Chain A
Amino acid sequence: MKHWIAAMTLSIASVVSLTASASTENDRWESIEQQANGQTVYFNAWGGNQEINAYLRWANRELQRDYGVTLKHVKVADIAETVNRLLAEKTAGKDSGGSVDMVWINGENFKSMKENDLLYGPFVSTLPNWQIVDKSLPVEEDFTEPTDGLEAPWGVGQLVFIHDKRTLANPPRSFAELLSLAQANPGRVSYPKPPQFHGTSFLKAALLELTDSPEALYLPVDEVDFNAVTAPLWRYLDQLHQVAWREGSQFPSSSAETLQLLDDGEFLVAIAFNPNAAKAAVASGKLAPSARAFAFDQGALSNIHFMAIPYNANAKAGAMVAINFLMSEKAQLRKADTQVWGDPPVVKLSDTAEVSRFNTQPEPHPSWQTALEAAWLKRYGQ
């Protein structure tokens, strides 16, 4: 009991300290760094990409050396698994000493965690490196949902397509042209199956181009006439599926699979959520050197991916130090290197030669995500 009270007092003290006046902010950050020394941070993040995994191992070595913080990458196939685990912990009343210290999220998972009070914070403005974040990026909104300082930006995602110059010299410039390409080459175009993240993003991007009222997509779904807004999308997909890979009876399960299928010559166009995906894949040998990324004329659907701390995290100070480090110029520059990962930075860098971005198209309201997934599933999921 005594320990419990002591722990509570400490955590209240640390929360109070975080919100204290600016003049003492440096001292506060130093005390957070002191607290963090020796802590182990369990970072739950998607583990399907070996380049990202290797990058996080590097981050762990740096953090151990400079701050005495150990960063353990808990690899998950889908971060929703983690959101569920946190719910299980909350269900069981485990409000401290939780199993997750840090998560990599955005969009729907963030909204879900925020609505269920599974997040710790606001903490982002106390991080020293928040100062160098490029505020011209939409870093305070996640799929139109305000971040409220509950998650810190990590990188920029853009929905791009990849083609191989040797097999497809003139890539399509719009969804309409993509359909003509598919009709001219039956069986060689498709997209990941929604509700997989890239598949749903493909639907949103297509809808933005095809619908008569794109502005409706930035409102919650229940405030607009869903059927009227989406009718052109379903007409389009009906046509596309007739000439798609395996005649629309199967879809790839992920962006990685479309890359694989592009390399195998089954696909003409692959899909990724990183403007540097093609360069990174060439560097790692996954794609031929003639592979190039491109975006449609309407711009690339863009969003920021974030890092957050669960409400019951065990090593909150360590997580903040780790997040702050991952936002540092050093860490962001290495992350942007296509030989390492190729994820565009969210901070203003002195050297941005490596970084390329396409024109951006903002993400629709998060409610479209579920609505589109459900409607797609009803039409094509069986």
Chain B
Amino acid sequence: MARLLFAITLTVCCLPLLPGVGGLLASAFAFLPTLGLTEANFSGWHQVMAWPALWQSIQLTLISGLGSSLLAVAFSFIILQAAWHTPIWQKISTRLPALLALPHVAFAIGLVLLLSPSGWLFRLLSPLLGEKPVTWALVQDPYVIGLTLALTLKETPFLLLMSLSVLRQIDVARLTMVSTSLGYNRTATWLKVILPLWLAKMRFPIFAVIAYSLSVVDVAMILGPNTPPTYAVLVWQWFNDPDLALLPRASAGALLLFALCGLALLLFRFLEWLGCQCLNRWQYTGRRHAWLPGKLLWWPVFITPLAIMPVLLVWSFALRWSFPDWLPSRYSLRFWEQELSYVWSLVGNSIVLAVISASVALLFAIGCLERSTNQRRSVPRAVIAIPLLVPQLSILFGIQVAVYSLPGQWHVPATIWSHIFFAFPYVYLALDGPWQQFDMRLMQTARSLGVSATLAWWRVKLPLLLPAIILAWAVGASVSLAQYLPTQLLGAGRINTLTTEAVSLSSGLDRRISGLYGLMQAMLPLIVFALATVLSRIAERRLLPTSTPTYSGAKHHDTVCQSTHHKRA
């Protein structure tokens, strides 16, 4: 069974890449017979290189992409070292899923409403700053500060969540005990002992963050500068150039984006090696005391999404709200009335896509994980890596061409496929830790009592891992809910979700409508996560043989990612 699932996973996640990459390569080298381009050449590459603002654009991408990833890594480590298994940790870990669930687009729209020169922050400060908006900006600024900070704040919760299972594998408590006995304080222990171990195990999630930040289009369109834009946005604009003869330029640009991502990942790996293996004297020079501002850093990560929601809410009920008023001068239900009847079909589409893709991705992930436990063969990393690391923009065009070459209409299956494809690695990563930690002796005990392998799996393993499975499903659903490019490209624009609607409406820059859709877009994954958390707690409670209130209260953080009861059982 696991083997079959594994084979299907490989087919679904790897086969479509062939036409995807093929189509991209062909058009990057100007081989597009329908356009009359029948001889391959380098014209696309020359056009890319001749683009006046190419290097500035790439610079902005590297600053915002690498900068935000490194900051997010630093933030999450600093928060972890200060908070891990302290009283504040419980608060942090229960709030993580909510932070993670907030879609990037809603987050970006909210930040604009909050931090642009006429945003709420500056309206509140207007008595100090004057009646006219300030002439500098925190968002859409030419130095990509706004975009970098937004990506940092958005990626930190993801890395924190991924750290949960990683840190359990490291056995922080024993390491801390040993180094405390050697005279190292908590922070020094974390820096010198835990950081290298943590970095090595966090490599995949960090790679995912880097690749995402370098190739993100929707958020960069909303928060980034436009003269020039970041490189991914530039490639997206090239794809949308009305002059079709320029398509090789877009495809060559997409390949270059792919190469940039690859280089950035190598660079990160090199830095990690440099710090932890090559120049690692700092680990044993003997300084035993260090301090990092962990709890201070937690607040911006936590507060910003909280501050965004009321701004979205107020704008969605505003009719007129001119600068520098703190609140709208006229309210109206008009936009809610106008949209509400229409929004249900969008919500329906979003939910159907999310449920199908999260469930299928979950099955795939369980299949792959079971295969690696049974046969001691781990899944080829490529299966997880490709969807995480390939810039979406780079492969979707080729896949689009491939889908169109099939007879008939394939918008719906193609879109569902792409959602599964992009949700799968996140679901897998969310389940990897719990699966590795599962104590196989429980299964052996069950078998020794005369239960078949299948029955043991259903009766012992599944119930114990159910809380983790439910939350992994929710992660998959929230990934699907946030997909813009695949839905738009493969769905031929016919499949409307809250996310495609929010992005296409953001081009009209009506803050009231943007606020409404941003809010709707944020609510759906929040509801999914809230339900998932409740369900996983119920599933967990059923496992506890006797109710021990103090005990379950202390372990709330465990429910976020996995269950470890079997160890105590």
Task: Tell me which residues across on chain A come within 8 A of B374, comparing CB atoms.
Answer: none
> A330 an interface residue at 8 Å Cβ cutoff?
no
Among B34, B242, B503, the residue within 8 A (CB) of A109 is: B242
CB pair A50–B493 under 8 Å, yes or no, is no
Given contacts A48-B508, A83-B242, A256-B510, contact A263 B227 (CB under 8 A): no
Among A286, A288, A381, the residue within 8 A (CB) of B228 is: A381
> B240 an interface residue at 8 Å Cβ cutoff?
yes
Query: Chain A nearest CB: distance from B499 CB in Å?
Result: 12
CB pair B496–A49 under 8 Å, yes or no, is no
Given contacts A80-B242, A87-B244, contact A74 B118 (CB under 8 A): no
Task: Tell me which residues across on chain B come within 8 A of A286, comparing CB atoms.
Answer: 510
Segment from B303-311, B396-404, B554-562 that makes contact with A:
B396-404
CB pair B494–A42 under 8 Å, yes or no, is yes
> B239 an interface residue at 8 Å Cβ cutoff?
yes
Nearest B residue to A76 via CB reads B493
Q: How far is the CA of A284 from the CA of B330 in the complex (A)?
A: 12
CB pair B508–A256 under 8 Å, yes or no, is yes
- CB within 8 Å of A: which B482-517 residues: 488-489, 492-494, 496, 500-501, 503-513
CB pair B240–A78 under 8 Å, yes or no, is yes
Q: Residues of B within 8 Å of A, CB-based: how many?
A: 68
Q: How far is the CA of A8 from the CA of B404 in the complex (A)?
A: 20
Nearest B residue to A4 via CB reads B407
Nearest B residue to A105 via CB reads B242
Q: How far is the CA of A72 from the CA of B492 in the complex (A)?
A: 13
CB pair A80–B241 under 8 Å, yes or no, is yes
CB pair B405–A50 under 8 Å, yes or no, is no
Given contacts A87-B34, A264-B118, A265-B132, contact A116 B504 (CB under 8 A): no
Q: How far is the CA of A94 from the CA of B410 in the complex (A)?
A: 12
Among B137, B247, B505, the residue within 8 A (CB) of A47 is: B505
> A146 an interface residue at 8 Å Cβ cutoff?
no
Task: Tell me which residues across on chain A come within 8 A of B504, comparing CB atoms.
Answer: 47-48, 75-77
CB pair B330–A99 under 8 Å, yes or no, is no
Q: 1/0 per residue A75-94: CB within 8 Å of B?
A: 11110111111011111111
> B409 an interface residue at 8 Å Cβ cutoff?
yes
CB pair A266–B404 under 8 Å, yes or no, is no
Q: How far is the CA of A254 from the CA of B56 in the complex (A)?
A: 22
CB pair B510–A250 under 8 Å, yes or no, is no
CB pair B409–A97 under 8 Å, yes or no, is yes
Nearest A residue to B116 via CB reads A264
Q: 1/0 per residue B331-356: CB within 8 Å of A?
A: 01001001000100000000000000
Query: Chain A nearest CB: distance from B46 CB in Å?
Result: 15
CB pair A44–B244 under 8 Å, yes or no, is no
CB pair B507–A91 under 8 Å, yes or no, is no
Query: Chain B nearest CB: distance from A183 CB in Å?
Result: 16
> B319 an interface residue at 8 Å Cβ cutoff?
yes
> A135 an interface residue at 8 Å Cβ cutoff?
no
CB pair A94–B227 under 8 Å, yes or no, is no
Q: 1/0 per residue A255-286: CB within 8 Å of B?
A: 01101110111100000000000000000011
Query: Chain B nearest CB: distance from A332 CB in Å?
Result: 22
- CB within 8 Å of B: which A205-257 residues: 245-246, 249-251, 253-254, 256-257
Query: Chain A nearest CB: distance from B293 CB in Å?
Result: 33
Task: Tell me which residues across on chain B come within 8 A of A250, comparing CB atoms.
Answer: 137, 140-142, 225-227
- CB within 8 Å of A: which B386-444 residues: 397, 400-405, 408-409, 411
> A170 an interface residue at 8 Å Cβ cutoff?
no
Task: Tell me which residues across on chain B come within 8 A of A245, comparing CB atoms.
Answer: 135
Nearest B residue to A77 via CB reads B507
> A26 an interface residue at 8 Å Cβ cutoff?
no
Task: Tell me which residues across on chain B come within 8 A of A165, comparing CB atoms.
Answer: none
Among B56, B242, B400, B500, the residue within 8 A (CB) of A382 is: B56
- CB within 8 Å of A: which B285-332 residues: 318-320, 322-323, 330, 332
Task: Tell me which residues across on chain A come within 8 A of B136, comparing CB atoms.
Answer: 246
CB pair B135–A75 under 8 Å, yes or no, is no
CB pair A94–B404 under 8 Å, yes or no, is yes
CB pair B411–A57 under 8 Å, yes or no, is no
Given contacts A84-B244, A193-B227, contact A50 B505 (CB under 8 A): yes
Given contacts A112-B244, A285-B332, A377-B53, contact A266 B118 (CB under 8 A): yes
CB pair B226–A253 under 8 Å, yes or no, is yes
CB pair A91–B32 under 8 Å, yes or no, is yes
> A108 an interface residue at 8 Å Cβ cutoff?
yes
Q: Residues of A within 8 Å of B, CB-based: how many?
A: 64
Q: How far is the CA of A83 from the CA of B409 in the complex (A)?
A: 18
Task: Tell me which residues across on chain B come within 8 A of A57, comparing CB atoms.
Answer: 342
Task: Tell me which residues across on chain B come within 8 A of A259, comparing CB atoms.
Answer: 509
Given contacts A251-B226, A285-B330, contact A382 B53 (CB under 8 A): yes
CB pair A75–B32 under 8 Å, yes or no, is no
Task: Tell me which residues across on chain B come within 8 A of A82, comparing CB atoms.
Answer: 493
Q: How far is the CA of A225 from the CA of B501 in the complex (A)?
A: 45
CB pair A251–B227 under 8 Å, yes or no, is yes
CB pair A48–B509 under 8 Å, yes or no, is yes
Task: Tell me which residues across on chain B come within 8 A of A92, comparing CB atoms.
Answer: 401-405
Nearest B residue to A99 via CB reads B492
Query: Chain A nearest CB: distance from B397 CB in Å?
Result: 7
Given contacts A91-B401, A112-B242, contact A260 B509 (CB under 8 A): yes
CB pair A81–B247 under 8 Å, yes or no, is no
> A128 an interface residue at 8 Å Cβ cutoff?
no
Query: Chain A nearest CB: distance from B520 CB in Å?
Result: 14
Among A50, A251, A285, A381, the residue within 8 A (CB) of B53 is: A381
Query: Chain B nearest CB: distance from A193 CB in Å?
Result: 5
Task: Tell me which residues across on chain A come within 8 A of B509, comparing CB atoms.
Answer: 48, 254, 256-257, 259-260
> A12 an interface residue at 8 Å Cβ cutoff?
no
- Which of A46, A76, A381 has the largest number of chain B CB atoms within 10 A? A381
> B553 an interface residue at 8 Å Cβ cutoff?
no
Task: Tell me which residues across on chain A come within 8 A of B401, comparing CB atoms.
Answer: 88, 91-92
CB pair B244–A378 under 8 Å, yes or no, is no
Task: Tell me which residues across on chain A come within 8 A of B338, comparing CB atoms.
Answer: 50, 54
Task: Tell me which residues across on chain A come within 8 A of B132, comparing CB atoms.
Answer: 265-266
CB pair B404–A91 under 8 Å, yes or no, is yes
Nearest B residue to A289 via CB reads B320
Q: How far is the CA of A72 from the CA of B239 in the complex (A)?
A: 25
Task: Tell me which residues across on chain A come within 8 A of B35, comparing CB atoms.
Answer: 87, 91, 116
Task: Tell me which residues across on chain B come within 8 A of A285, comparing CB atoms.
Answer: 318-320, 330, 332, 512
Task: Tell me which residues across on chain A come within 8 A of B411, comparing CB atoms.
Answer: 99
Q: How far is the CA of A57 from the CA of B338 in the complex (A)?
A: 11
Query: Chain B nearest CB: distance from A104 CB in Å?
Result: 13
Given contacts A84-B240, A87-B247, A88-B401, contact A265 B133 (CB under 8 A): yes
CB pair A266–B133 under 8 Å, yes or no, is yes
CB pair A246–B135 under 8 Å, yes or no, is yes
Query: Chain B nearest CB: distance from A132 CB in Å?
Result: 31
- Which of A116, A251, A253, A285 has the largest number of chain B CB atoms within 10 A? A285
Query: Chain A nearest CB: distance from B342 CB in Å?
Result: 7
CB pair B404–A88 under 8 Å, yes or no, is yes
> A187 an interface residue at 8 Å Cβ cutoff?
yes
- CB within 8 Å of A: which B101-150 residues: 117-118, 131-133, 135-137, 140-142
Nearest B residue to A260 via CB reads B509
Q: How far is the CA of A378 from the CA of B53 in the complex (A)?
A: 8
Task: Tell me which residues across on chain A come within 8 A of B240, comparing CB atoms.
Answer: 78, 80-81, 84
Apart from A93-B405, A261-B118, A265-B132, what 9 extra A-B contacts exist at CB < 8 Å? Answer: A249-B227, A254-B507, A264-B323, A288-B320, A370-B243, A381-B53, A381-B227, A382-B52, A382-B53
The 10 closest A-B pairs by CB, nearest first: A48-B508, A92-B404, A99-B492, A264-B118, A256-B509, A382-B53, A92-B405, A48-B507, A285-B319, A74-B493
| 26 contacting pairs across A/B (C-beta < 8 A) | A48-B509, A50-B508, A75-B504, A76-B504, A84-B239, A84-B247, A85-B489, A87-B35, A88-B401, A92-B403, A92-B404, A97-B408, A111-B242, A112-B243, A116-B35, A246-B136, A250-B137, A250-B141, A254-B509, A256-B509, A257-B509, A265-B118, A285-B319, A285-B320, A285-B330, A381-B52
